[in-house]
Amino acid sequence: MIVFFQSLLSGVLVGGVYALIGIGLTIIFGVMRVINFAHGDLLMVGMYLTYFLFALLHIDPFVSILVSIPLMFLFGALLQKVFINRVLGSLPQNQILLTIGLGLIMSNTVMLLFTSDYRILTTSYSSGSVKIWGLSVSEPLFISFLITAAITAFLYWFLLKTDTGQAIRATAQDREAAQLMGINVKRMSVIAFGIGAALSGTAGALISPTYYIFPQVGGAFTLKAFVIVVLGGMGSIVGATLGGIVIGATESLAAVYISSGTKELVVYVLFLLVLLFRPAGLLGKSRM
C-alpha cells in the first residue's frame, strides 16, 4: 500500500511539471489555434540551457530558471515572429508541418553541436529525499513541484488579473472580436508563443536534475503534452493542469505496476481511449 501512495505522490509531483508543458501548449493553441509540434524540443532547449549554466557557470538549476525563463520567452517570441506568424492564415496541415520542421531543426542542431551523448546533471541533492506524510519522495522532484506550483499560481494571476493576461484570454476566446475591441492580436500571438516556450523550457530546467539530457528527448514530451492537452480539453488551462497531474500519476503507477519500459505506452493508449470515449476532454471543455 505504501508503494502505491509513494508512486502516486511521485507521479503527482512529476505531473505538476507536466502540467507546465501542457499549459504552455494549450495557451499557444488557444490563442493561435496552432498545434505546436516543436513543444517538446523547446523543453529540450531549456534542458540544455540549464545544463550548460550549471556545467560552465555552476549555477544551480533551480536558480538558473530565473535566467532561462526570460531567455526561453524571447526565443519563443522570436520563433513566432519569424516563422509561425507567416502561417497563421494557412491550412492547419501546413502549420503542423512547419512546427515539425522547426522541431527537427532544433533537435538536430543540438545533436550536431553537442553530440547525442546522454548528459546528466548531478547536484548535491539529486539523490536526496524528503519525507511528506510519511512517504519518501525525491528531493529535486519536491522542489520542482513547489516551483511549478508557484509559477502556475503566478500564471493564473497574470491571466486573470492583468490587462495583458485578459487580452490574451480575449484573443483566445474570439480573435476577431478581440481585434475589434482594439487588442493587438499579433502581439498577443507573440506573447502567447513566448509564454508557451518559457513554460516548456522551464519544465525542462526543472526536470534536468532527474532526467537524461539528450537531443531527441523532446519528441516523447511533445506527444505527452498533446495527450495532456486533449485529456484536459484543448484550450483549457485548468484542464491542462489537471491533465498533467493525471498523466504524471498514470505514468508513475504504470512504471511500478506494469514495467518501466511500457509507462509511455500506457500514456499513449490512454490517449486513444480518451479520443474514443471522451474527445472533449475530462472536463468537457474542449475548444474544438
Binding site for another protein (CB under 8 A): 35, 37, 83, 86-87, 90, 92-94, 96-98, 100-105, 108-109, 111-112, 219-220, 223, 226-227, 230, 234, 259, 261-262, 264-265, 268-269, 271-272, 275-276, 279, 288
Distance (Å, rounded) from C-alpha 268 to C-alpha 288? 21
Copy the grid coordinates of residue 275: 479520443
Minimal distance in Å, beta carbon 177 to another protein? 15
Quick one: 230 or 245, whose CB is closer to another protein?
A: 230
Minimal distance in Å, beta carbon 214 to another protein? 14
Minimal distance in Å, beta carbon 109 to another protein? 6
Q: How many helices (H) and strands (E) does the chain have?
A: 11, 2
| Residue 211 near residue 50 (C-beta atoms within 8 A) | no
Distances (CA, A) of 13 to 7, 221, 230: 10, 16, 20
| Residue 98 near residue 87 (C-beta atoms within 8 A) | yes
Amino acid at 97: L
Would you tell me how many other CB atoms lie within 10 Å of the CB of residue 288? 11
Quick one: 59 or 111, whose CB is closer to another protein?
A: 111
Distances (CA, A) of 59 to 71, 147, 225: 15, 17, 28
Q: What angle do CA 207, 152, 103 make, to 5 degrees?
A: 50
Residues 6+ apart with CB under 8 A from 20: 148, 151, 152, 199, 200, 202, 203, 206, 244
Quick one: 20 or 274, whose CB is closer to another protein?
A: 274
Minimal distance in Å, beta carbon 175 to another protein? 17
Quick one: 206 or 224, whose CB is closer to another protein?
A: 224
Quick one: 208 or 222, whose CB is closer to another protein?
A: 222
Minimal distance in Å, beta carbon 95 to another protein? 8
Minimal distance in Å, beta carbon 50 to another protein? 23
Minimal distance in Å, beta carbon 62 to another protein? 31
Quick one: 233 or 248, whose CB is closer to another protein?
A: 233
Quick one: 50 or 99, whose CB is closer to another protein?
A: 99
